[in-house]
Amino acid sequence: RIAYVDGRYVRHANACVHIEDRGYQFADAVYEVWSVFNGRLADTQGHLDRLDRSLNELRIETPMTRPALLVVLYEVIRRNRIKDGMVYLQVSRGAAPRDHFFPAGVKPTLVITARSVDRKVAAAKAETGIKVITQPDIRWGRCDIKTVGLLPNVLAKQAAKDAGASDVLFVDSEGFITEGGSANAYIVDQAGVIRTRSLTANILAGITRAQLLKILGSTDIQVKEEAFSVAQALGAKEVFVTAATSLVMPIVDIDGHKIADGKPGPVATALRAAYIENAI
Ligand code: PDD
């Protein structure tokens, strides 16, 4: 495997950044994840737009122009011979002697990695659906910025794994679901209306979410960008999450309670197929 680190293509096994990189010391870094279908990045511009936004919000310098970045992204895909897979990109503020203040004259650190994904395994998972647990949303107030400060997500997702589930639904102090551990969350309510939380600083504006809403715009399925409670999710016809990694993933069990008949529903299943068809 080959990784891109600060201007060089290096063996993945030997790839490293400095011990005083601010991504490592302060989580002073942002990231993006793309899925790759047939050697092509899915939702390319959407992820690049969000990367720009995350960098702007944190006042981290853009590491290179968009055309240059696209060349590097595709070079990493090519060198790793990725047909179906994932690309991970991370930009930190750079390496400097540890000090909370922004360092002067430091260049951002850019790292890009890629790996293959077995779409058959993912498809099998989507056919069964996943179990999740709810967890209090203890994350910071700027979840709209895609930073590598993911400790609450890590702890929550590990708690899910320990409980025999594969993801979490974060719940705010009012009992409303914000999003998944690394995905946006939706329900299909008893009226057949899709509900997903509106975009605020409390959740990440998923690129898969944006694409899904676009797809839904050309169907007669009604969508409401409104928060839903845990109780509403438990009583829903369907629950699902979306992300560049899991695409559209049905949830069939929350905290040990089956959703409907405990099988993936028709809406999530159709939307998964529609998303993939669009991305290919
Ligand atoms: N996570 N919400 C959170 C908290 C996320 O971490 C992600 C993505 C999403 C979905 O965003 P998108 O559709 O743009 O992937 C929502 C990535 C995949 C990750 O952390 O691996």
Question: What tens digit of pLDDT does each residue of 102-157 get?
Answer: 999 999 999 999 999 999 999 999 999 999 999 999 999 999 999 999 999 999 99
Look at residue 241 in the predicted model and tell me its pLDDT: 98
> Residue 46 is which amino acid?
G
Ligand 1 centroid, distance to 132 Cα (angstroms)? 16
Residue ranges of alpha helices (H) inside the chain are 22-26, 44-58, 66-79, 119-128, 151-162, 207-217, 230-234, 266-279
Residue-wise pLDDT tens digits, 257-270: 999 999 999 999 99
CB atoms within 10 A of CB 58: 17
Prediction pTM value: 0.97
DSSP 91-148: EES-B-SS-SSPPTT-PPEEEEEEEE--HHHHHHHHHH-EEEEEEE----S-TTS-BS
Residue-wise pLDDT tens digits, 219-243: 999 999 999 999 999 999 999 999 9
Give the CA radius of gyration of the chain: 19
Residue 136's region, left for phi above 0, alpha for psi from -120 to 50, else beta, is: beta
**How many residues are given for the chain?**
280
DSSP 78-93: HHTT-SSEEEEEEEES
For residue 5, pLDDT over 90 is answered with: yes
CB atoms within 10 A of CB 61: 12
The C-alpha angle with vertex 221 and arms to 227 and 125, in degrees rounded to 5, equals 75
Q: Which of 143, 184, 199, 240 to mutate to test the pocket of ligand 1 (most atoms within 8 A of CB)?
A: 184
User: How confident is residue 280, by pLDDT bands cut at 50, 70 and 90?
Assistant: confident
Class of domain 122-279: alpha beta
Residue-wise pLDDT tens digits, 67-77: 999 999 999 99
Ligand 1 neighbourhood includes 245 CB (under 6 angstroms):
yes
Ligand 1 centroid, distance to 104 Cα (angstroms)? 31
CA–CA separation, 236 and 273 (whole Å) = 21
Listed by start position, the domains of the chain span 2-117, 122-279
Look at residue 272 in the predicted model and tell me its pLDDT: 98
For the domain with range 2-117, which CATH number is right: 3.40.50.1110, 3.30.470.10, 3.30.1200.10, 1.10.3720.10?
A: 3.30.470.10
Q: Examine the predicted complex and report whether its ipTM is higher than 0.90.
A: yes
- Reading the block at residue 191, the tokens are 């009226």
For residue 55, pLDDT over 90 is answered with: yes
Ligand 1 centroid, distance to 244 Cα (angstroms)? 7
| CB contact set of 64 (below 8 Å; sequence gap of 6+) | 72, 110
Residue-wise pLDDT tens digits, 163-207: 999 999 999 999 999 999 999 999 999 999 999 999 999 999 999
Q: Which of these, 81, 102, 110, 84, lies nearest to 276 by C-alpha position?
A: 84
CA–CA separation, 157 and 181 (whole Å) = 6
Residues labelled as active-site residues: 146
Residue located nearest, by CA, to atom 9 of ligand 1? 183
Are 198 and 228 within 8 A, CB to CB?
A: no
| 41-43-45-51 Cα dihedral, nearest 10 degrees | -90
Look at residue 15 in the predicted model and tell me its pLDDT: 97
